[in-house]
């Protein structure tokens, strides 16, 4: 198993405990929890790998590097490292690509919340990577958590 796929599986709680993120699976079927997330081809697989590498980086308002990220800065940085330039603004990022329904998300899709004031990168299994708020770090959360579920705006897929 290649290292980034193993990292994704650990992060999703499949197999080993990895990254300390194995709880919070409410609203996820047992089949979905047990099914490993297969890597997406091309750009999307690179996006997921880079996003996961930055879990634990500190939050910094306006931040666009591993020294500190805000939400859209993380999305911009991750996509840039995967070969795609994006603006540093969630509203502008939401104008790109094509819309994706919540039930049709694939790893690498950009997810948006809270009137386009928050964004992250979907990694599969109902989980996404995001830079949440001052005093926190880049982390993995579940889109089915109450806060995210209630503030869902939409998702975009870049090709």
**Alpha helix segments (H runs only) across the chain:** 3-11, 30-34, 43-53, 71-81, 90-94, 146-150
pLDDT, average across residues 44-49: 95
User: Is 159 annotated as catalytic?
Assistant: no
Min mean pLDDT across 13-17, 83-87, 88-92, 155-159 is at 13-17
| Average confidence score pLDDT of the chain | 82
* Residue of 7, 24, 71, 159 marked catalytic: 71
User: Is 24 annotated as catalytic?
Assistant: no
Give all domains of the chain, ordered by start, each with its CATH number: 3-157 (3.90.1720.10)
* Residue of 88, 115, 130, 159 marked catalytic: 130
Model pLDDT for residues 13-42, shown as the tens digit of each residue:
433 333 333 222 223 333 333 333 444 468
Model pLDDT for residues 119-132, shown as the tens digit of each residue:
999 999 999 999 99
More confident residue, 39 or 87: 87
Phi/psi at 53 (nearest 5 deg)?
-65, -25
Beta-bridge mates of residue 125: none
User: Is 71 annotated as catalytic?
Assistant: yes
């Amino acid at each position: 198993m290649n290292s980034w796929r193993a990292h994704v599986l650990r992060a999703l709680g499949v197999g080993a405990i990895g990254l300390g993120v194995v709880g919070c699976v409410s609203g996820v079927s047992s089949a979905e929890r047990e099914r490993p997330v297969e890597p997406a081809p091309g750009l999307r697989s690179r996006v997921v790998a880079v996003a996961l590498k930055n879990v634990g980086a500190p939050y910094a308002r306006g931040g666009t590097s591993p020294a500190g990220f805000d939400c859209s800065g993380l999305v911009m940085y991750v996509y840039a490292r995967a070969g795609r330039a994006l603006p540093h603004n969630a509203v502008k990022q939401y104008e790109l690509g094509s819309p994706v329904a919540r039930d049709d998300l694939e790893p690498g899709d950009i997810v948006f919340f809270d009137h386009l004031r928050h964004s992250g990168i979907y990694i599969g299994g109902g989980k996404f990577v995001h830079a949440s708020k001052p005093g926190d770090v880049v982390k993995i959360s579940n889109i089915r958590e109450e806060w995210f579920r209630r503030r869902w705006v939409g998702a975009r897929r870049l090709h």
